[in-house]
Structure 1
Amino acid sequence: MKLTVAGFLDNSMVNGEGMRSVLFLSGCKRRCKGCQNVAMQDFKYGEEATVEEILNRIKSNMPIIKGVTFSGGDPMEQAEALSKLAKDIKAEGLNIWCYTGYTYEELLEEKNKNKLELLKYIDVLVDGEFKEELMDNSPKYAGSSNQRIIRLK
Protein backbone atom coordinates (compact mmCIF):
# COMPACT_ATOMS: atom_id res chain seq x y z
CA MET A 1 0.00 0.00 0.00
CA LYS A 2 1.12 3.54 -0.70
CA LEU A 3 0.68 6.86 1.06
CA THR A 4 1.09 10.34 -0.38
CA VAL A 5 3.68 11.92 1.89
CA ALA A 6 4.03 15.69 2.11
CA GLY A 7 7.04 15.61 4.44
CA PHE A 8 8.90 13.74 7.14
CA LEU A 9 10.84 14.84 10.22
CA ASP A 10 13.20 12.24 11.63
CA ASN A 11 13.36 13.87 15.08
CA SER A 12 10.99 16.38 16.65
CA MET A 13 10.01 17.40 20.17
CA VAL A 14 7.23 19.86 19.25
CA ASN A 15 4.70 17.52 17.62
CA GLY A 16 3.85 15.41 20.67
CA GLU A 17 5.49 14.24 23.87
CA GLY A 18 9.09 13.08 23.72
CA MET A 19 11.42 12.64 20.79
CA ARG A 20 9.45 11.40 17.80
CA SER A 21 9.36 11.15 14.04
CA VAL A 22 6.65 13.11 12.24
CA LEU A 23 4.91 11.98 9.07
CA PHE A 24 3.09 14.76 7.19
CA LEU A 25 0.40 13.36 4.91
CA SER A 26 -1.11 15.05 1.87
CA GLY A 27 -4.75 15.99 1.55
CA CYS A 28 -7.22 17.97 3.61
CA LYS A 29 -10.76 19.10 2.75
CA ARG A 30 -11.13 21.63 5.58
CA ARG A 31 -9.17 24.65 4.29
CA CYS A 32 -8.83 26.23 7.76
CA LYS A 33 -8.04 29.95 7.69
CA GLY A 34 -4.43 30.43 8.83
CA CYS A 35 -3.42 26.81 8.24
CA GLN A 36 0.35 26.47 8.65
CA ASN A 37 0.52 23.66 6.08
CA VAL A 38 -1.52 25.08 3.18
CA ALA A 39 0.47 23.27 0.49
CA MET A 40 -0.27 19.95 2.19
CA GLN A 41 -4.02 20.42 1.69
CA ASP A 42 -3.51 19.32 -1.93
CA PHE A 43 -4.09 15.56 -2.22
CA LYS A 44 -1.37 15.35 -4.90
CA TYR A 45 1.28 17.34 -3.01
CA GLY A 46 4.41 15.39 -2.09
CA GLU A 47 5.54 11.94 -3.12
CA GLU A 48 4.16 8.45 -2.89
CA ALA A 49 5.88 6.00 -0.56
CA THR A 50 5.04 2.47 0.45
CA VAL A 51 4.16 1.55 4.01
CA GLU A 52 7.35 -0.52 4.11
CA GLU A 53 9.54 2.40 2.98
CA ILE A 54 8.09 4.69 5.62
CA LEU A 55 8.36 2.04 8.33
CA ASN A 56 12.02 1.45 7.47
CA ARG A 57 12.74 5.16 7.81
CA ILE A 58 10.98 5.26 11.17
CA LYS A 59 12.91 2.19 12.35
CA SER A 60 16.18 3.87 11.37
CA ASN A 61 15.41 6.54 14.00
CA MET A 62 15.04 4.02 16.82
CA PRO A 63 15.95 3.91 19.71
CA ILE A 64 16.19 7.71 19.72
CA ILE A 65 12.48 8.18 19.09
CA LYS A 66 9.73 7.04 21.42
CA GLY A 67 6.85 7.64 19.03
CA VAL A 68 5.51 8.81 15.70
CA THR A 69 3.15 11.69 14.95
CA PHE A 70 0.79 11.76 11.97
CA SER A 71 0.07 15.28 10.75
CA GLY A 72 -0.68 16.94 7.46
CA GLY A 73 -2.89 17.72 5.64
CA ASP A 74 -5.27 15.47 7.50
CA PRO A 75 -4.07 11.92 8.15
CA MET A 76 -7.65 10.64 8.29
CA GLU A 77 -7.94 11.28 4.54
CA GLN A 78 -5.50 8.38 3.98
CA ALA A 79 -6.80 6.17 6.77
CA GLU A 80 -6.82 2.87 4.88
CA ALA A 81 -3.08 2.71 4.14
CA LEU A 82 -2.18 4.64 7.28
CA SER A 83 -3.87 2.05 9.52
CA LYS A 84 -1.53 -0.60 8.08
CA LEU A 85 1.47 1.59 8.88
CA ALA A 86 0.09 2.36 12.34
CA LYS A 87 -0.27 -1.35 13.10
CA ASP A 88 3.37 -1.90 12.11
CA ILE A 89 4.53 1.09 14.18
CA LYS A 90 2.74 -0.25 17.26
CA ALA A 91 4.42 -3.63 16.71
CA GLU A 92 7.75 -1.79 17.10
CA GLY A 93 6.65 -0.55 20.54
CA LEU A 94 6.22 3.11 19.55
CA ASN A 95 3.33 5.36 20.54
CA ILE A 96 1.29 7.27 17.97
CA TRP A 97 -0.07 10.81 18.07
CA CYS A 98 -2.45 11.94 15.32
CA TYR A 99 -3.57 15.46 14.40
CA THR A 100 -6.91 15.73 12.60
CA GLY A 101 -9.46 18.41 11.74
CA TYR A 102 -12.23 15.95 12.55
CA THR A 103 -13.52 15.79 16.10
CA TYR A 104 -13.37 12.43 17.82
CA GLU A 105 -17.16 12.35 17.85
CA GLU A 106 -17.33 13.00 14.09
CA LEU A 107 -14.97 10.11 13.46
CA LEU A 108 -17.09 7.76 15.56
CA GLU A 109 -20.41 8.93 14.09
CA GLU A 110 -19.17 8.71 10.49
CA LYS A 111 -18.59 4.97 10.99
CA ASN A 112 -15.96 4.88 8.24
CA LYS A 113 -14.32 1.48 8.69
CA ASN A 114 -10.85 2.74 7.68
CA LYS A 115 -10.91 5.70 10.08
CA LEU A 116 -12.21 3.52 12.90
CA GLU A 117 -9.45 1.00 12.20
CA LEU A 118 -6.83 3.76 12.37
CA LEU A 119 -8.24 5.00 15.68
CA LYS A 120 -7.49 1.57 17.20
CA TYR A 121 -3.75 2.28 16.94
CA ILE A 122 -3.68 5.94 18.01
CA ASP A 123 -2.56 6.67 21.56
CA VAL A 124 -3.23 10.43 21.50
CA LEU A 125 -5.63 12.23 19.17
CA VAL A 126 -5.39 16.00 18.73
CA ASP A 127 -8.79 16.77 17.23
CA GLY A 128 -10.77 19.65 15.77
CA GLU A 129 -10.35 22.25 13.07
CA PHE A 130 -7.65 24.87 13.49
CA LYS A 131 -9.27 28.22 14.30
CA GLU A 132 -6.94 31.15 13.77
CA GLU A 133 -8.93 33.40 16.14
CA LEU A 134 -8.46 30.86 18.97
CA MET A 135 -4.73 30.29 18.69
CA ASP A 136 -3.61 32.62 21.51
CA ASN A 137 -4.61 30.39 24.41
CA SER A 138 -4.12 27.02 22.81
CA PRO A 139 -2.90 24.13 24.96
CA LYS A 140 0.58 22.72 24.43
CA TYR A 141 0.67 20.61 21.25
CA ALA A 142 -2.57 22.13 19.89
CA GLY A 143 -2.84 24.92 17.35
CA SER A 144 -5.98 26.58 18.74
CA SER A 145 -7.89 26.42 22.01
CA ASN A 146 -10.86 24.52 20.55
CA GLN A 147 -8.63 21.56 19.76
CA ARG A 148 -8.49 18.76 22.29
CA ILE A 149 -5.71 16.41 23.27
CA ILE A 150 -7.48 13.10 23.83
CA ARG A 151 -5.62 10.15 25.30
CA LEU A 152 -7.18 7.10 23.69
CA LYS A 153 -4.77 4.72 25.43
Structure 2
Amino acid sequence: MKYADIKHCDVANGTGVRTSLFVSGCTHRCRGCFNEIAWDFNYGNEFTDETVQEILDSCGKSYISGLSLLGGEPMEPQNQRVLLPLVLRFKELYPEKTIWCYTGYTYETDLLAPEGRAHCEVTPEFLACIDILVDGEFDQELYDLKLKFRGSSNQRVLQIHEPGCPELFAEMDR
Protein backbone atom coordinates (compact mmCIF):
# COMPACT_ATOMS: atom_id res chain seq x y z
CA MET A 1 0.00 0.00 0.00
CA LYS A 2 1.01 3.59 -0.54
CA TYR A 3 -0.04 6.69 1.31
CA ALA A 4 -0.48 10.26 0.16
CA ASP A 5 0.23 12.15 3.39
CA ILE A 6 0.51 12.10 7.17
CA LYS A 7 -0.62 15.13 9.16
CA HIS A 8 0.71 15.14 12.71
CA CYS A 9 -1.45 17.97 14.10
CA ASP A 10 -4.76 17.76 12.25
CA VAL A 11 -7.81 19.51 13.71
CA ALA A 12 -10.19 19.04 10.76
CA ASN A 13 -10.72 15.28 10.63
CA GLY A 14 -12.18 14.34 13.99
CA THR A 15 -12.38 15.70 17.49
CA GLY A 16 -9.33 17.24 19.14
CA VAL A 17 -5.85 17.29 17.66
CA ARG A 18 -5.19 14.12 15.69
CA THR A 19 -2.63 12.33 13.60
CA SER A 20 -4.20 11.72 10.19
CA LEU A 21 -3.10 9.18 7.60
CA PHE A 22 -4.25 9.73 4.02
CA VAL A 23 -3.95 6.41 2.21
CA SER A 24 -3.69 6.05 -1.56
CA GLY A 25 -6.23 4.27 -3.71
CA CYS A 26 -9.93 4.87 -4.15
CA THR A 27 -12.41 3.33 -6.58
CA HIS A 28 -15.28 5.75 -5.78
CA ARG A 29 -13.88 8.73 -7.72
CA CYS A 30 -16.46 11.15 -6.31
CA ARG A 31 -16.97 14.34 -8.32
CA GLY A 32 -15.60 17.26 -6.28
CA CYS A 33 -13.39 15.08 -4.08
CA PHE A 34 -10.95 17.17 -2.02
CA ASN A 35 -8.15 14.62 -2.45
CA GLU A 36 -8.44 13.43 -6.05
CA ILE A 37 -4.69 12.89 -6.30
CA ALA A 38 -5.01 10.01 -3.80
CA TRP A 39 -7.38 8.00 -6.04
CA ASP A 40 -4.33 6.36 -7.64
CA PHE A 41 -3.23 3.27 -5.68
CA ASN A 42 0.35 3.96 -6.80
CA TYR A 43 0.48 7.58 -5.65
CA GLY A 44 2.72 8.66 -2.80
CA ASN A 45 5.06 6.87 -0.42
CA GLU A 46 5.40 3.22 0.50
CA PHE A 47 3.64 2.32 3.74
CA THR A 48 6.36 0.56 5.74
CA ASP A 49 7.08 -0.58 9.30
CA GLU A 50 8.86 2.76 9.74
CA THR A 51 5.69 4.57 8.66
CA VAL A 52 3.67 2.63 11.24
CA GLN A 53 6.19 3.55 13.95
CA GLU A 54 6.13 7.23 12.91
CA ILE A 55 2.34 7.28 13.23
CA LEU A 56 2.34 5.45 16.57
CA ASP A 57 5.03 7.76 17.98
CA SER A 58 3.04 10.80 16.83
CA CYS A 59 -0.12 9.46 18.49
CA GLY A 60 1.75 9.00 21.77
CA LYS A 61 1.99 12.72 22.39
CA SER A 62 -0.31 13.83 25.22
CA TYR A 63 -2.10 16.45 23.11
CA ILE A 64 -3.05 13.96 20.38
CA SER A 65 -6.64 12.71 20.78
CA GLY A 66 -6.33 9.90 18.29
CA LEU A 67 -5.79 8.64 14.77
CA SER A 68 -7.84 9.49 11.69
CA LEU A 69 -7.77 7.34 8.55
CA LEU A 70 -8.72 9.00 5.27
CA GLY A 71 -7.88 8.70 1.64
CA GLY A 72 -8.06 7.77 -0.95
CA GLU A 73 -10.12 5.06 0.67
CA PRO A 74 -8.94 3.24 3.81
CA MET A 75 -11.74 0.67 3.46
CA GLU A 76 -10.66 -0.63 0.07
CA PRO A 77 -10.02 -4.30 0.92
CA GLN A 78 -6.33 -4.15 -0.03
CA ASN A 79 -5.89 -1.09 2.23
CA GLN A 80 -7.76 -2.71 5.14
CA ARG A 81 -5.38 -5.66 5.05
CA VAL A 82 -2.33 -3.39 5.33
CA LEU A 83 -3.86 -1.03 7.92
CA LEU A 84 -5.11 -3.76 10.27
CA PRO A 85 -1.78 -4.20 12.14
CA LEU A 86 -1.59 -0.41 12.63
CA VAL A 87 -5.07 -0.10 14.14
CA LEU A 88 -4.57 -3.16 16.34
CA ARG A 89 -1.29 -1.83 17.67
CA PHE A 90 -2.78 1.65 18.15
CA LYS A 91 -5.62 0.23 20.28
CA GLU A 92 -3.12 -1.78 22.30
CA LEU A 93 -0.90 1.25 23.00
CA TYR A 94 -3.57 3.93 23.33
CA PRO A 95 -6.88 2.40 24.50
CA GLU A 96 -8.08 5.80 25.72
CA LYS A 97 -7.64 7.44 22.30
CA THR A 98 -10.00 7.15 19.34
CA ILE A 99 -9.77 6.04 15.74
CA TRP A 100 -11.86 7.89 13.17
CA CYS A 101 -12.20 6.38 9.70
CA TYR A 102 -13.60 8.17 6.64
CA THR A 103 -15.03 5.97 3.92
CA GLY A 104 -17.17 6.29 0.83
CA TYR A 105 -18.60 2.86 1.58
CA THR A 106 -21.72 2.48 3.71
CA TYR A 107 -21.51 0.73 7.05
CA GLU A 108 -24.45 -1.65 6.79
CA THR A 109 -24.37 -2.71 3.14
CA ASP A 110 -20.76 -2.36 1.99
CA LEU A 111 -18.81 -3.13 5.17
CA LEU A 112 -20.88 -5.27 7.55
CA ALA A 113 -22.62 -7.48 5.01
CA PRO A 114 -20.42 -10.45 4.01
CA GLU A 115 -21.41 -9.82 0.37
CA GLY A 116 -20.66 -6.09 0.69
CA ARG A 117 -18.43 -4.37 -1.85
CA ALA A 118 -15.67 -3.62 0.69
CA HIS A 119 -16.12 -6.58 3.04
CA CYS A 120 -13.14 -8.92 3.20
CA GLU A 121 -11.65 -11.38 5.68
CA VAL A 122 -10.23 -8.60 7.91
CA THR A 123 -13.22 -6.21 7.89
CA PRO A 124 -14.85 -7.39 11.16
CA GLU A 125 -11.57 -7.10 13.08
CA PHE A 126 -10.79 -3.77 11.41
CA LEU A 127 -14.22 -2.32 12.27
CA ALA A 128 -13.84 -3.51 15.87
CA CYS A 129 -10.99 -0.99 16.20
CA ILE A 130 -12.91 1.96 14.73
CA ASP A 131 -14.63 4.31 17.17
CA ILE A 132 -16.15 6.78 14.70
CA LEU A 133 -16.95 5.93 11.09
CA VAL A 134 -17.86 8.67 8.63
CA ASP A 135 -19.54 6.79 5.79
CA GLY A 136 -21.03 7.46 2.38
CA GLU A 137 -19.66 8.77 -0.88
CA PHE A 138 -19.12 12.50 -1.17
CA ASP A 139 -21.97 14.00 -3.21
CA GLN A 140 -21.12 17.39 -4.73
CA GLU A 141 -24.85 18.21 -5.03
CA LEU A 142 -25.26 17.78 -1.25
CA TYR A 143 -22.09 19.69 -0.29
CA ASP A 144 -22.61 21.87 2.79
CA LEU A 145 -19.88 23.90 4.53
CA LYS A 146 -21.91 23.98 7.75
CA LEU A 147 -21.59 20.23 8.30
CA LYS A 148 -19.10 19.08 10.91
CA PHE A 149 -16.65 16.32 9.99
CA ARG A 150 -18.28 15.56 6.63
CA GLY A 151 -18.61 17.21 3.27
CA SER A 152 -22.09 16.31 2.04
CA SER A 153 -25.37 15.78 3.87
CA ASN A 154 -25.74 12.16 2.75
CA GLN A 155 -22.62 11.22 4.73
CA ARG A 156 -23.08 10.02 8.30
CA VAL A 157 -20.91 10.32 11.39
CA LEU A 158 -21.45 7.02 13.20
CA GLN A 159 -20.33 6.06 16.65
CA ILE A 160 -19.89 2.30 16.45
CA HIS A 161 -20.87 0.58 19.68
CA GLU A 162 -20.91 -3.06 18.70
CA PRO A 163 -19.31 -3.89 15.34
CA GLY A 164 -21.31 -6.58 13.63
CA CYS A 165 -24.60 -5.36 15.13
CA PRO A 166 -25.94 -2.67 12.79
CA GLU A 167 -28.88 -1.93 15.08
CA LEU A 168 -26.45 -0.78 17.79
CA PHE A 169 -24.88 2.28 16.23
CA ALA A 170 -25.86 5.89 16.73
CA GLU A 171 -25.56 8.75 14.30
CA MET A 172 -23.74 11.65 15.92
CA ASP A 173 -25.38 15.03 15.47
CA ARG A 174 -22.33 17.19 14.83
Separation (CA, whole Å) in 2 of partners of 1:139 and 1:104: 20
1:136 deviation in Å? 1.9
1:132–1:144 contact (8 Å) kept in structure 2:
yes
Q: Deviations over 1:90-118 (max 9, x none)?
A: 11213100000000012111242222221
Correspondence for 1:144 among 132, 152, 172: 152
Q: Is 1:119 the equivalent of 2:122?
A: no
Contact preservation (8 Å) 2:2, 2:23: yes
Q: Give 1:53 deviation, angstroms.
A: 2.8
Cα displacement string for residues 5-52 of structure 1 (whole angstroms, at most 9, x for unaligned residues): 110000111100011000000000011000010010000001112245
> 2 CA distance for matches of 1:138 and 1:99?
18
In the TM superposition, structure 1's runs of 4+ consecutive aligned residues that sit over 6 Å from their partners are: none
CA distance in 2, matches of 1:69, 1:38: 18
Question: What letter matches 1:119 in structure 2?
Answer: L
Does the CA-based 8 Å contact 1:51-1:85 persist in structure 2?
A: no
What TM-score comes out, normalization by structure 2 length?
A: 0.81
2-structure distance, mates of 1:88, 1:127: 23
Matched, 1:108 2:112: yes
**Counterparts of 1:130 and 1:98, CA distance in 2:** 14
Residue number in structure 2 paired with 1:9: 7
What is the count of residue pairs matched by the alignment? 151
CA-atom RMSD in angstroms: 1.5
* Runs of 5+ consecutive residues of structure 1 not aligned to the other structure: none
Q: CA deviation at 1:59?
A: 1.5
Q: How does 1:124-139 map to 2 (within 5 A)?
A: 124-136=132-144, 139=147
| Counterpart residue identity of residue 29, structure 1 | T
- The Cα of 1:135 is off from its aligned counterpart by 0.9
Q: TM-score, normalised by structure 1?
A: 0.92
Residues 30/138 of structure 1: CA separation in 2 closer, same or farther (3 Å cut): farther
Greater relative CO (CA pairs within 8 A, separation 6+): 1
Identity %: 43
Matches within 5 A, 1:55-134: 55-61=53-59, 62-77=61-76, 78-93=79-94, 94-105=97-108, 106-109=110-113, 110=116, 111-134=119-142
Does the 8 A contact of 1:138 with 1:146 survive in 2? no
**Aligned equivalents of 1:120 and 1:58: distance in 2?**
19
Quick one: distance in 1 between partners of 2:14 and 2:30? 21
CA contact (8 A) 1:138 1:145 kept: no
- Check whether the contact 2:103–2:134 (CA below 8 A) recurs between aligned residues: yes
Q: Which stretches in structure 2 are left out of the alignment for 5+ residues?
A: 162-174
